[in-house]
Amino acid sequence: MKISELLAKYETFCPKELAVAGDPVGLQVGNPHQNLSKVLVTLDIREQTVQEAKALGVELIIAKHPLIFRPLSALTSLDKQQKLVLDLAAAGIAVYTSHTNIDVVNGGLNDYFCQLFNLSDVEILDDDEGVGRIGNLAPTSLLALSEQVKQVFGLKHLRLVTYEHDLNQKISRLALCGGSGGKFWEKAVEKGADAYLTGDIYYHVGHDMLSAGLVGIDPGHYIEQAFIPLVANKLRDFAPSLTIFESQAATNPFYDI
C-alpha cells in the first residue's frame, strides 16, 4: 500500500474540507507515493515523538496537532521546530495532520467525547464552524460530574470555573469541545448548557461565563490524546495489513505535583 492510498481511505471518513478555514491539515512532510507498512498515531510531534517513530521504523505519522502550524520562512537545524521537520524528512518519515476536521466530522473526537459521557439528543455547539457538541445527560451534581471527568480522562486534577459556592449544582445539559474551546462559551449559554467542558479557559473568560450563569470544567488540552486510539482503530479498519502503533511518548507539557 502507498501512503496516498491509506490517506485516501482516511479522508473518506474525515475530509480535509471540514477543517476550520486556514487550519493546516493534510500531508505536511513526505512522499505520498512511498510504500507503507507501519504508521504511528500521535497527538503531538515533539522530539520524543520523532525518536519513537524512528525506533519503530514507521513510514508515516498521523498527528492531530500540526507539525507546521504557521508558514516557515526558513528550514534549518538552528530552529528547534524546523529541526523536527528536517529530522523526519531525513528519516523518510511522512507527516499527515488531522486537526479541526477530526473535531468537526460525524464520528470524530467530539462525538467520541459525547459517547464517553452518555450524552443524548446531541447537537453541534457552534453551527458556523461545526465545532463542539452539546447534549443532555442524567442529572448529576457539578462535583460528581467533575469526578467522572477525572476518571474518564485519567486525571489527578482539573480546574472548575465556579466561585466554589455551589458544587452541588445540578447539571443536566453539558456542552463540550476538545482542545481550546473557550471562545465558544456564549454558544453554550445560547443552547442552554448548565456546564461547559473544554480546555485552556482564560481567567477573564471564566468571569464572563460565571456572570452569564455558566459553570466550566477545564480538564486541560491534553484530553485530546483520545485522538490516538480513535484514529488508530479507524486505520486498522481501513488497512488491516498495516501495523498501526499508538504513540506512548509523553508530550503533555504540564505535570501535576
pLDDT confidence bin for 164, thresholds 50/70/90: confident
Lowest mean pLDDT among 20-34, 79-93, 115-129, 156-170: 156-170
The whole-number average pLDDT for the span 121-141 is 97
Distance CA 88, CA 27 (A): 13
Q: Count of domains in the chain?
A: 2
pLDDT confidence bin for 175, thresholds 50/70/90: very high
Residue 243, domain member (yes or no)? no
Entry pTM: 0.95
Q: What's the grid cell of residue 138?
A: 442524567
Residue ending a domain, among 81, 102, 123, is: 102
Looking at the structure, do residues 156 and 184 belong to the same domain, yes or no? yes
pLDDT recorded at residue 108: 98
pLDDT confidence bin for 47, thresholds 50/70/90: very high
pLDDT confidence bin for 73, thresholds 50/70/90: confident
Q: What sign does the dihedral 129-22-58-248 (CA atoms) show?
A: negative
Residue 123, domain member (yes or no)? yes
Residue 235, domain member (yes or no)? no
Domain of residue 85, CATH code: 3.40.1390.30
Residue 159, domain member (yes or no)? yes
Looking at the structure, do residues 72 and 110 belong to the same domain, yes or no? no
Q: Give the full edge-to-edge strand order of the sheet including 94-97.
A: 26-29, 94-97, 60-63, 38-42, 243-246
Looking at the structure, do residues 65 and 144 belong to the same domain, yes or no? no
Looking at the structure, do residues 212 and 118 belong to the same domain, yes or no? yes
Looking at the structure, do residues 90 and 120 belong to the same domain, yes or no? no
Looking at the structure, do residues 112 and 124 belong to the same domain, yes or no? yes
Residue 232, domain member (yes or no)? no
Q: Collapsing DSSP states into helix, strand and coil, what is residue 95?
A: strand
Looking at the structure, do residues 85 and 124 belong to the same domain, yes or no? no
Looking at the structure, do residues 94 and 110 belong to the same domain, yes or no? no
pLDDT recorded at residue 257: 82
Looking at the structure, do residues 63 and 123 belong to the same domain, yes or no? no
Residues 6+ apart with CB under 8 A from 113: 133, 176, 178, 197, 223, 226
Q: Collapsing DSSP states into helix, strand and coil, what is residue 74?
A: coil
Looking at the structure, do residues 160 and 140 belong to the same domain, yes or no? yes
The whole-number average pLDDT for the span 67-82 is 92
* CA dist 62 → 7, 234, 248 (Å): 10, 12, 14
- Please determine, for residue 88, whether its predicted confidence score (pLDDT) is greater than 90: yes
pLDDT recorded at residue 171: 97
Instruction: Using the CB atoms, write b or e for 138-177: b if 16+ within 10 Å.
Output: eebebeebbebbeeebeeeebebbbeeeeeeeebebbbbb
List pLDDT tens digits, range 185-211: 999 999 999 999 999 999 999 999 999
Residue 192, domain member (yes or no)? yes
Residue ending a domain, among 82, 102, 122, is: 102
Residue 257, domain member (yes or no)? no
Distance CA 87, CA 104 (A): 31
pLDDT confidence bin for 165, thresholds 50/70/90: confident
Q: Which domain holds residue 200?
A: 106-222
How high does pLDDT run on average in the chain? 96
Residue 240, domain member (yes or no)? no
* CA dist 171 → 111, 125, 166 (Å): 19, 17, 11
pLDDT recorded at residue 72: 87
Looking at the structure, do residues 177 and 197 belong to the same domain, yes or no? yes
Looking at the structure, do residues 159 and 201 belong to the same domain, yes or no? yes
